[in-house]
Structure formats: structure tokens, C-alpha cells
């Protein structure tokens, strides 16, 4: 560089420093090419700037990996906890539709209104006792109780094939007892379930009633192409008893299930009995 010659804008020290901060490869090039700094100073700046940006690259990779793993875990949880057991729908049914249930009972007489609107709900021990009255039937594989819970108005038990869990299952049998749905018509329950489900998913839903009697309805749904839930097929049997409603479910991560499998589990759900 000719001494005394006016420096171009990219040769100015402040410009070089800005490039070192925001676009370090260009900054290093300008520093080595145009500045009159001592070689030792240039070497130190090169090492420090390079180390700084390498550290940030490593941190960026670490954060990206962490976020990717977190998203993957969330996706895995979603896939292994679909709406097959309909617990979410049932909770909506208990809460949001309680007013509708009381209105329906008003057409049946004052005794029914008192039964649904009673301030003395069934004791939790009695709810458990009611679910103990249920006899389920399974296929020839080993099944085990994977989860059970009870709260006001609802008792639930979930069964999985030996080796699986309720967090990671391919087939799931669920038994529910609703003590706060005394007197509900089983078809009304199924209609509410269908409405709630179709409003909660974005995929394709095929809904069928398989069998209908005065005190029970057997239905099924097949969910495919949903943005959140994996494809699955479920059959359920809703049974009205004097003190509430039983709902028995069988779900499989396959949509649709084979005809033979469908027939087998339809028969197994039909065989379930409730002690009077």
C-alpha cells in the first residue's frame, strides 16, 4: 500500500472490525489483505475470532439436537397416546354435556331428574365395586392391567398385551364406568361421542353402528390421515345399567383391522358380562 494514499472504504479499520464481528470470514480476509497491523496481532485476532465462532457453531448444533430430540419425544408420545381410548371425549361428555343430560332426563319424570342431579354421588368404593362386576374376555395372549384411575363419576381400566404399556401400545382394551350418566340412552351417548370426535380431529373418520339394543350399542370408528393422531381402528360397546353406563373399548394401531380380527374382537366385546 502506498504510504499516504487514501484508504478505500473496505480498508478502513472500523469496516474491518465490523466484518470481523458480523461476517468473520470476510473480515479476516480484509484484515490480512489491507490492514497494516502487525502479523502477531493479525494471528491473535484470527485465532480468537475463529474460536469464538466455532464455539457458537458447536452451541448451535447442540441446541438443534436438543430441540430435535424434544420434538421427536413429543411426536412419539402423541403416536402412542391416540384418541383410541376416547378418555378425552368422555371427559367432555361428563362436563360439557351434563346440562344436556339433565334436560333429557326431565322428559322422563322427576325421579330421573333427582337421580342425575343428586348431590350425593356414588361413593368411589361403590364405583370400583361396579367395575369389579364386569367380566372381560381376551384372546389367547397374555394381557395385563396397565393403568387404572378413578375420579368423581368415572372409573377407568386399561389393559395391554404383555410386553407393552399404555404409553407404547399396539392394541388396547379399555373398560370405563360412568356413575354420573344414569338413565342416559346408549344411542345418545354414541351420538355425542361421534360429534365430539369429528370436531376434534382433522383426518378421515369412518363411523359405524354395528349392533343396537334397548340398553346397549356396539359401534366402531376408523381414523386415518390425521395431522396429530396415528391411523387406528376402534370398536366399543356402550351398556346402560341401573347405576350408570359401562363402555368397553378395543383399539388397534391398524386401520382398518382385518375382517377375521374384527370378528374376533367384536365377539369378545359381546361376551363381556356385568353381574346384576
User: CA-to-CA distance for 41 and 13, rounded, in angstroms?
Assistant: 13
**Structure confidence at residue 76 as a pLDDT band (50, 70, 90):** low
180 in Cβ contact with 98 (< 8 Å): yes
Return the higher-pLDDT residue of 261 and 110: 261
DSSP state of 70: H
Model confidence at 79, pLDDT cuts 50, 70, 90, reads low
What average pLDDT does range 54-75 have in this prediction?
Answer: 80
Round the average pLDDT of the chain to a whole number and report it.
79
Q: pLDDT confidence of 186, banded at 50, 70, 90? A: very high
- φ, ψ dihedrals at 190, nearest 5°: -65, -40
In angstroms, rounded to a whole number, what is the distance separating the alpha carbons of residues 105 and 77?
A: 39
| Domains, the chain, with CATH or none | 9-75 (no CATH), 83-274 (3.40.1000.10)
The Cα–Cα gap between 121 and 161 comes to 34
pTM: 0.57
**Residue 155 or 38, more confident:** 155
Amino acid at each position: 500500500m502506498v504510504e499516504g494514499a487514501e484508504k478505500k472504504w473496505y480498508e478502513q479499520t472500523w469496516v474491518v472490525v465490523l466484518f470481523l464481528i458480523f461476517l468473520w470470514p470476510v473480515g479476516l480476509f480484509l484484515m490480512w489483505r489491507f490492514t497494516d497491523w502487525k502479523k502477531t496481532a493479525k494471528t491473535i485476532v484470527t485465532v480468537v475470532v475463529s474460536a469464538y465462532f466455532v464455539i457458537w457453531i458447536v452451541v448451535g448444533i447442540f441446541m438443534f439436537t436438543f430441540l430435535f430430540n424434544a420434538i421427536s419425544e413429543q411426536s412419539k408420545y402423541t403416536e402412542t397416546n391416540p384418541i383410541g381410548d376416547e378418555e378425552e371425549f368422555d371427559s367432555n361428555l361428563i362436563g360439557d354435556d351434563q346440562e344436556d343430560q339433565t334436560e333429557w332426563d326431565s322428559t322422563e319424570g322427576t325421579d330421573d331428574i333427582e337421580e342425575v342431579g343428586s348431590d350425593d354421588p356414588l361413593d368411589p368404593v361403590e364405583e370400583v365395586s361396579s367395575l369389579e362386576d364386569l367380566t372381560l374376555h381376551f384372546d389367547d395372549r397374555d394381557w395385563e392391567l396397565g393403568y387404572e384411575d378413578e375420579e368423581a363419576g368415572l372409573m377407568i381400566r386399561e389393559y395391554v398385551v404383555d410386553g407393552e404399556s399404555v404409553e407404547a401400545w399396539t392394541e388396547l382394551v379399555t373398560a370405563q364406568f360412568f356413575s354420573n350418566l344414569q338413565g342416559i340412552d346408549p344411542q345418545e351417548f354414541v351420538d355425542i361421542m361421534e360429534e365430539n370426535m369429528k370436531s376434534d380431529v382433522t383426518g378421515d373418520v369412518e363411523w359405524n353402528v354395528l349392533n343396537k339394543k334397548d340398553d346397549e350399542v356396539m359401534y366402531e370408528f376408523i381414523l386415518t390421515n390425521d395431522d396429530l393422531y396415528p391411523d387406528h381402528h376402534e370398536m366399543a360397546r356402550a351398556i346402560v345399567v341401573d347405576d350408570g353406563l359401562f363402555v368397553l373399548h378395543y383399539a388397534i394401531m391398524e386401520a382398518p383391522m382385518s375382517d377375521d380380527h374384527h370378528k374376533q374382537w367384536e365377539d369378545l366385546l359381546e361376551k363381556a358380562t356385568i353381574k346384576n
